[in-house]
Amino acid sequence: MAEQEAACAPHSGLSPAPAKAAGRVRGVSRWSRAWRKFKRNKLAMAGATVAIFLTIVAIFAPWIAPYPYSESHWDHAWEPPSWKFPFGTDELGRDMLSRQIWALRNALIIALMAEVVTFVVGSAIGATAGYFGGKIDNFLMRFTDIMFAFPSLLFNIVLVAALGRGLLVIFIAIGVTRWTGLARLVRGQVLALKQMEYVLAARASGATGWDIILRYLLPNAAGPIIVTLALGIPANMMVESALSLIGMGVAPPMPSWGALIATYQNAVLSYPHLLLFPAATFAITLLSFTYLGDGLSEALDPKD
């Protein structure tokens, strides 16, 4: 800055700051309002409780699972549920409870990391397109259209087939096919928000483009973004299971719900626990995350 002190006359007449009160009261943010609304929604709270429980189980899987996921108990093969093996055992005598805990862990890691990829790619492309507009917008959105039109499961299969069946490859593969929806959403939000008076006001007080994107546009679009991301978690789990179902998911002996369900669908009459337990735990996981997402979308809805 050139003439910092020259012409900006110092303020002399401003009244002195009043003495600070003893206690400082914090403002009620929209987050605490949303939380209050969320708490009233019983289904969402149930979903959130189960989802948190499942997440803790997934994080501590190595300590919680009673047996290693690939340990065989040869004298206990094909056993129905018992005290020793609460969900029974499979054809190799492996504990099905432990395998499902590990399946949960894999599904959650993949779903969450794929959402991280979705968030980074989707919001970066959407925000850039919406903010700059014009040719950049046109180019990025046509690219998004192409990615959207691509059959995503096929794309996942190709990627996994080419790069291997590691966790990293799978979540990146899912992430790069699922960001298009978020990119469109963020672009729409940014287009609407950048017309807001407060964005102009920020610009008029010297905000840079980054200040505006990071402090004004994205936070104001946070509600819909969070909802989309939350509802994306169960969707990603479905994709992961679909990949496992056709044998393109995590490599065995690492368990996956899709693989468990696919393997034992023929054994449903003779050994029903091998299909029913994975199907039930999978369904509960999906439902809990879906209700959590629905609850969030209701709590963060600005039209209340």
Partner 1 sequence: MEELLRVTNLKTHFFRPDGVVRAVDGISYTLNKGESLAIMGESGCGKSVGVMSLIQLVRKPGRIVEGQALFEGRDLLKMGKEEIRQIRGHCIAMIFQDPMTSLNPTLTIGKQITEPMLWHNYAGRQEARERAIKLLAAVGIPSPWQRFTEYPFQFSGGMKQRVMIAMALACEPRLIIADEPTTALDVTVQAQIIDLLRRMKEETGTSVLMITHDLGVAADFCDKVMVMYAGRVAEQAPMDEFVERPCHPYSRGLMNSTLDLGRLKGRLDPIPGAPPSLLNPPAGCRFHPRCSEAMAVCSEKEPELVEVGPGRKVACWTAEKEGCKN
Residues that bind partner 1 (CB under 8 A): 1-3, 7-18, 20-21, 24-30, 196-198, 200-208, 211, 215-216, 219-220, 222
Please, what is the minimum distance in Å from the beta carbon of residue 126 to partner 1?
A: 18
Alpha helix segments (H runs only) across the chain: 30-40, 42-59, 61-64, 96-132, 134-149, 152-163, 167-193, 197-204, 209-211, 218-220, 222-245, 257-264, 272-299
- Closer to partner 1 by CB, 139 or 198: give it: 198
- Closer to partner 1 by CB, 54 or 218: give it: 218
- Closer to partner 1 by CB, 161 or 201: give it: 201
How many Cα atoms occupy the beta-carbon half-sphere of 26 within 13 Å? 5
Tokens of 26: 């914090």
Q: Is the peptide bond before 253 cis (omega within 30 degrees of 0)?
A: yes
Please, what is the minimum distance in Å from the beta carbon of residue 79 to partner 1?
A: 56
Of 228, 147, 134, the closest CA to residue 186 belongs to 228
Of 26, 183, 50, 172, the closest CA to residue 111 belongs to 172
Please, what is the minimum distance in Å from the beta carbon of residue 193 to partner 1?
A: 10
- Closer to partner 1 by CB, 63 or 210: give it: 210
- Closer to partner 1 by CB, 269 or 302: give it: 302
Please, what is the minimum distance in Å from the beta carbon of residue 211 to partner 1?
A: 7
Please, what is the minimum distance in Å from the beta carbon of residue 18 to partner 1?
A: 5
- Closer to partner 1 by CB, 10 or 149: give it: 10
Tokens of 45: 């709270």
β-partners of residue 89 are: 95
- Closer to partner 1 by CB, 27 or 83: give it: 27
Residue 289's CB: how many other CB atoms inside 10 A?
A: 26
Answer yes or no: are the C-beta atoms of 237 and 174 closer than 8 Å.
Answer: no
89: phi then psi, degrees, rounded to nearest 5: -130, 160
- Closer to partner 1 by CB, 83 or 134: give it: 134
* 3-state SS, one letter per residue, for 86-146: CCCECCCCCEHHHHHHHHHHHHHHHHHHHHHHHHHHHHHHHHHHHHHCHHHHHHHHHHHHH
Please, what is the minimum distance in Å from the beta carbon of residue 141 to partner 1?
A: 18
Please, what is the minimum distance in Å from the beta carbon of residue 203 to partner 1?
A: 6
Please, what is the minimum distance in Å from the beta carbon of residue 135 to partner 1?
A: 13
